[in-house]
A and B are shown apart, each in its own frame.
Chain A
């Protein structure tokens, strides 16, 4: 069962590399943010994989009780980060639209 976890974890990591390609070459900024969002969600899963695989200590038990806390904190931070970035883009666009409307009113 441990070999299965190692193989599927490496498979998940290899599948995360094309998403990183999208982050690097994404045409718009929102594309990169979507890629970062997907990578962050998968990092949460990968931390659970790592906690199941790694064995340490005298009794050789798995360290998942520690890594599951990391995964929970990482999920929270990922959500907050994507919300902050989306609000930033939203507000800049609204400000630009407001300035456009004001110029149109001045011209009219």
Chain B
């Protein structure tokens, strides 16, 4: 059981690594939001799930069950609220005038480079 918990935590850190890479290297606000929203939610749920399994394998007195239920609440809550806040921030970013970066944005620069 502890090996499964450790594997889940390591998987969560790998997914968070992907989210960080996407957050640093994507060119646009919307693509950054895409990487951050998905990778962040999945890695958090995986790590909290690993902790749930670890606490479950530690034996079951009353305090431990209390901790288990609260960890389940955190996982469910983050699974509900992180996509919601991502959606709200994405809508706010779109409404505040950020246009997504397309191929048309790069073509005039290339033409100018060819002309000069």
A interface vs B, CB < 8 Å? 1, 4, 8, 11-12, 15, 18-19, 21-22, 27-28, 30-31, 33-35, 37-38, 41-42, 44-45, 48, 52, 64-65, 68-69, 71-72, 75-76, 79, 82-83, 85-90, 92-94
Contact = CB atoms under 8 A, between A and B. Distances in A.
B53 interface: no
Given A38-B36, A48-B71, A79 B20 contact: no
Contact of B95 (A27, A41, A44, A90): A90
Contacts of A86: 85, 88-89, 91-92
B98 A30 contact: yes
Contacts of B32: 22, 31, 34
Nearest to B39: A38
Interface of B: 2, 6, 9-10, 12-13, 16-17, 19-20, 23-24, 29, 32-33, 36, 40-41, 44, 47-48, 51, 54-55, 63, 66-67, 70-71, 73-74, 77-78, 81-82, 84-86, 88-89, 91-93, 95-98
Nearest to B16: A15
B98 A72 contact: no
Contacts of B96: 30, 89-90, 92-93
Nearest to A1: B2
B55 A64 contact: yes
A78 to B, nearest CB: 8
Nearest to B52: A48
Interface of A, helix, strand, loop or mixed by DSSP: helix
A72 B74 CA distance: 6
B85 A89 contact: no
A89 B92 contact: yes
A82 B89 contact: yes
A79 B85 contact: yes
A106 to B, nearest CB: 22
Contact of A11 (B13, B19, B77): B13
A81 to B, nearest CB: 9
Contacts of A11: 13
